[in-house]
Amino acid sequence: MTTSKGERTRSTILDAAVALACVQGFEALSIGSLADRVGMSKSGLFGHFGSREELQIAAIEAAAERFAVLVYRPALEAPRGLARLNALIDNWLTWVERCGWDGGCPLEGAIHEFDDRPGPVKAAVVRHFTRLERELARTIRLCVDTGEFDRDLDVDLFVFRLMGVVMAFHYRRRLMGGTRAEAVTRGAFALLIKESAPGRLQRDQ
């Protein structure tokens, strides 16, 4: 399927918007600043995004789509169960670098920008993380189905703890500049898997 010139221009704008958001956040996005960045007039860029809010939402959705392309979909090629969960985590921890962006995860950053600001932009962030938690839960349930995780595993609790591990990874890597951030994160993930092994929950009670 071929794309129109307008679609290609919109894609170029959104690529630049997400790259900027990785460093400065989605609140830094404006029609003016982005027009300068991509070498367009404000009126030309306004034709693609009628407002700053619309631009922010489109950029968040573009980042979420890139996340899906680089994290979810390749993981589906792995066998169901723990192999797929491991692939998803591997993809998740490295996706920003593979995009070639400077800075941190734009979607993780968006949590802190919009968590207490109701409106359409926050709703776009919520949609991404709702979908992420749903996909994580589905992947974890497959680990239960394959017998690799305990049949009594609390899937919601596993998702909650896993999200905490990855959020701590971003904090350690970006804020603290920890060189061992990925190694510690993978260690925490391995421990979470070990604690979820068949029969482990009964033994620990």
Residue whose C-alpha is closest to residue 18's, from 49, 54, 46, 60: 60
Structural domains present in the chain: 63-204 (1.10.357.10)
* Residues composing the chain: 205
pTM for the predicted model, two decimal places? 0.88
Which pLDDT tens digits describe the chain residue by residue (205 residues)? 556 777 888 888 899 999 999 999 999 888 888 888 888 888 877 788 888 899 999 999 999 999 999 999 999 999 999 999 999 999 999 998 898 888 889 999 999 999 999 999 999 999 999 999 999 999 999 999 999 999 999 999 999 999 999 999 988 887 777 678 889 999 999 999 999 999 865 555 4
Distance of alpha carbon 26 from alpha carbon 20, whole angstroms: 8
Distance of alpha carbon 189 from alpha carbon 168, whole angstroms: 12
Distance of alpha carbon 30 from alpha carbon 83, whole angstroms: 42
Residue whose C-alpha is closest to residue 167's, from 112, 125, 108: 108
* 184 touches 204 (CB < 8 A): no
* 170 touches 108 (CB < 8 A): yes
